[in-house]
Amino acid sequence: MTVPPTLDGASLDAVRHRGGPLQIIASAGSGKTEVVSQRIADLLADGVLPGQIVSFTFNEAAADELKTRVEDRVANRLGRGFLDHMNDCFIGTIHSYCFRLLQSQVPGYETFDVLDEHGLSAFLSIESSRIKLGELDRPLFAAIRDFRANIAVVENELIAVDQLEGAFGEITRRYYNELNLRRLLTYGQQIEHAVRALESGAVLGTIHSSLRHLVVDEYQDINPAQERLIELLASGPVELCVVGDDDQSIYQWRGADVNNILEFKQRYDAKQYPIVVNRRSRPGIISLANGISSQIPNRLPKEMQPDREPAEPEHTVWVAPTEQGESETIAEAIRNLRDQGWRYSDIAVLVRGKVAYPALLRAFERIPVTTGAAEGLFQQPLARLFGRSVAFLAGIEWSDEQYGQRLSVEIDDLLDRHEIEYGLGSGQRQELRELLENWQEEAESPTHPADLVGDFYRLLEHCGVLDWDPDEPENVARLGCLARCSRILADFESVQRRSRPDPAVPGEQIGGQDRGSFFYFRLATFVQNYAHGAYEGFEGEEDLAVDAVTLTTVHGAKGREWPIVFVPSLTAKRFPPSRMGRAGNWFVAPNLFDRARYEGSMDDERRLFYVAVTRARDWLSLSAHERVNTARSGSSPFLAGLGGEPRPDRPELPPPPSAREATGELARVNLSFSELANYLRCPYAFRLRHGLGFQPRIAPELGYGTAVHHALRRVAEHHQESGSPPSHEELDRIFEEAMFLPYASKPAHKQLKASARRLVNRYLEAYSEDLDRLWEVERPFELHLDGATVAGRADVILDREEGQTQALALVDYKTSLRRGDDYDLQLQIYASAGRREGLDVRGAYVHDLDLGDRLSVQTDQLAIEAAEERVLKAIERFRSADFTPTPSGRACGTCDMRAVCRFRSA
């Protein structure tokens, strides 16, 4: 727990403001996270309940940072014990809030899943014929690209589907129908559907029964749909606080409307507090940034003020003869900075677009770099070989370049490439030939079900991947690349095999396609035409101790900072990019949205340049090159706008860093109980799954346990609403809705549904009195320990344990019990968290639905203390990146990472 800084002036006023809408104009580096954290702590100190506060952040990383800071400030202000009551305080993204709202408040959404951008593209490629995407009259993947851009506008702007005309309108209606049949939502739909639910009135009333304070960070990047959501939530008894900086509005191309923040004060009659003291950057960098922002028209009046002392030189502007020369000069400067005492992790290189990556990566060959999204997956030889192999299975042509000449894939050439990339011995070639030819035969078979991820793992095992030492950095990068390939297969397979209701038989479902030559043809065209250019490379395992230069885009740097920042490639066609302002391929009528906002403008690019400059703490390098190869490149207008003095051809470096102060603070670890249980079961399997990103195989029964839980929840809710258990007919309706198994065929679904019905019937026969004792269903818990938080959700809480009102018992349902799983620990964690909240938890039970048994779990003080100690020891090992394998026949036999684990037990 750190001592919080003392706020004053506008910052303190913003923390203490009550009684109406509040707008905090937070310039770059002004400490807005600290102000928001202290405001939430101040609200709690005034008696506002944690469950009455909702705080939206831009992304999950920002949510984790804010949550950690809030907990620290609350502990400092109200004592660590108060953290045990923070469970109901929501701090997260708008999308996660909306999905939670839909699943908890709107019937029918419990079995929905959310498609990310890759899954959505896979869905469109697979369903293109059904939704008649060809009516857009362009090649398939061009149609997918343009359709996605237009459907994003529809969702961002809350445009009604009946306002859409022509082929696009008809395709959109079919598209949304197919998504709904498969119980899928897009990111945009989460917000759109939440808005529609809130507009209905009843849901908004439920939300307003508890919500009193809404905080919205990064308000400058809010789109119209999100603004409507905020407007609805902030009505009635709710006080709204928005935080942002119009100068940092950089997501217009995703629908953000800077007018939301510019006009907020007038729309809401809000009190406005500008926080303009930049505590991050040196004065010279601030002066430079002020000059950039002053050229932005129609902005909120403000000027950043410095807080730190000057230390020349603070910034440098230079121009190299060539792009490669510019990159090599930056690499040389980084090596010199390292020799001076700067860490690699103190340094970032920020670029406008990916076109600048190749030259930089070539120059950084011997410099450790965290590229993250900086390099496309198919820049890696192993990924290109993966794509070539998929093309072979489908019998289509392949090109290592996405738009290069495609040639047929011959088996001997494929074997040669496997030998080179995997270092195979001569004796393995024939076996590999047989494996690939057998897989190709299976791919052509109309009766052999595909197992894309599993078959890929069998190929990797044959190629000796299980012999790779996972502690060698080169092997980690190669394993990460292969894990990303497994993600492509899983994304495709999860959509291709997804079931839909049988229109002819209510309550039954039809399985998706899972076999045959057309299945593999679709996969191969998806890999060649979409995945080849869209999937990003392995980002590396999360390790707070890694010392490496960060190479990323300016958009990827939003919300971050570094002592040393290079911004290269400031040329006329790169920053701003040549495509700026180019008309899009729009199907949405121009009267329904502002096209220019999505197409970008010079003002948008100037804001982005401002963001790049304000990422630097101590020293900033701005550079360009005169030519790429032979053609000359004009300088960026932003570079020219900094002054007309002659430019040197290399940067003037800053002085060595001052002595570093150790914070003494350990990074806080936040885990769900599922993640903790996975780590305890086998740390190495956890690393494969979460650190490297290997995907589990898709099984027909996937989702069975979740569906049973949904059915039991609906049974409980029915009893709470009606006062009686559901009748046989009502149970039929519950199971029709709840028993959706996304990857089960029609026969498998019928069998699993019947099995689930038997489990629930047995439960109701033996434990129907539970329904009269229901206290809460699916109750979330958070256990706060030193340096760690473990979150989870109890299936049911029963009242009147030991015959006393408000004496509670936790019950966790399991469709089957596996030996060795930590069911006791799970309930002990929830019991501890509940008691810390002030609940009188008297008992805890694991209910085995398969056998009908209910097993008591020890929750006495000794058992709880032992459970907490076990959690703390596990967190300590996790924090130190201890992923020591714990193989055993029992655990390895059911592990979904078994196929890629070199330590698995026979």
> CA-CA distance, 790 to 675, in Å (whole number)?
9
329 with 453, same domain: the answer is no
Residue 388 included in any domain:
yes
Residue with tokens 């769900």: 672
User: Which residues, other chains included, contact 201 with Cβ-Cβ below 8 Å and sequence gap of 6+?
Assistant: none
> CA-CA distance, 454 to 762, in Å (whole number)?
35
Beta strands, E only, 475-543: 500-501, 509-510
778 with 798, same domain: the answer is yes
pLDDT for residue 270: 97
DSSP 3-state of 152: helix
Distances (CA, A) of 301 to 25, 87, 260, 277, 284: 10, 39, 16, 14, 20
Residue-wise over 750-780: b if at least 16 C-beta within 10 A, else e? Answer: bebbeebbebbeebbeeeeebbebebebbbe
499, 534, 569: which is the final residue of a domain? Answer: 534
Residue 663 included in any domain:
no
Residue with tokens 């008649």: 132
422 with 514, same domain: the answer is yes
Beta strands, E only, 493-602: 500-501, 509-510, 549-553, 562-567
84 with 142, same domain: the answer is no
Length of the chain: 906
Provide the residue range defining the domain that includes 571: 305-375+547-640
Residue 754 included in any domain:
yes
pLDDT for residue 818: 64
Residue 237 included in any domain:
yes
Backbone phi and psi for residue 158, each to the nearest 5 degrees, phi listed first: 55, 45
563 with 604, same domain: the answer is yes
589 with 476, same domain: the answer is no
- Cα–chain center distance at 414: 35
Residue with tokens 């002595």: 659
176 with 204, same domain: the answer is no
> CA-CA distance, 151 to 588, in Å (whole number)?
9
What residue spans of 17-93 are helical by DSSP H?
32-45, 60-78
CB 404 within 8 A of CB 435: no
522 with 425, same domain: the answer is yes
Residue 285 included in any domain:
no
Burial (0-12, 13-18, 19+ Cβ within 10 Å), 82: middle
Residue 596 included in any domain:
yes
Sites in the chain below the pLDDT cut of 50: 544, 662-664
Cis check for the bond before 648: say yes or no (omega within 30 of 0). no
89 with 130, same domain: the answer is no
CB 83 within 8 A of CB 75: yes
pLDDT for residue 660: 63
891 with 868, same domain: the answer is yes
Query: How many C-beta atoms lie closer than 10 Å to residue 431's C-beta?
Result: 11
Residue 508 included in any domain:
yes
pLDDT tens for each residue of 323-364: 999 999 999 999 999 999 999 999 999 999 888 988 999 999
CB 70 within 8 A of CB 82: no
127, 162, 182: which is the final residue of a domain? Answer: 182
> CA-CA distance, 427 to 631, in Å (whole number)?
51
User: Which residues, other chains included, contact 606 with Cβ-Cβ below 8 Å and sequence gap of 6+?
Assistant: 292, 295, 296, 638
CB 744 within 8 A of CB 511: yes
275, 295, 317: which is the final residue of a domain? Answer: 275
512 residue type, one letter: G
Q: Which residues pair with 54 in a beta bridge?
A: 90, 214
CATH number at residue 806: 3.90.320.10
Residue 656 included in any domain:
no
Distances (CA, A) of 345 to 31, 114, 206, 562, 806: 22, 34, 47, 8, 53
456 with 341, same domain: the answer is no
Count structural domains, the chain.
5
pLDDT for residue 874: 96
Residue with tokens 């390939």: 485
DSSP 3-state of 438: helix
For Cα atoms 136, 138, 144, give the angle at the middle one, nearest 5 degrees. Answer: 75
> CA-CA distance, 820 to 812, in Å (whole number)?
16
pLDDT for residue 663: 47
User: Which residues, other chains included, contact 484 with Cβ-Cβ below 8 Å and sequence gap of 6+?
Assistant: 377, 383, 535, 536, 537, 538, 693
From the list 597, 578, 553, the residue with the least C-alpha distance to 152 is: 597
For Cα atoms 361, 880, 898, give the angle at the middle one, nearest 5 degrees. Answer: 80
757 with 722, same domain: the answer is yes
CATH number at residue 31: 3.40.50.300
Distances (CA, A) of 876 to 83, 667, 790: 20, 11, 13
pLDDT for residue 665: 57
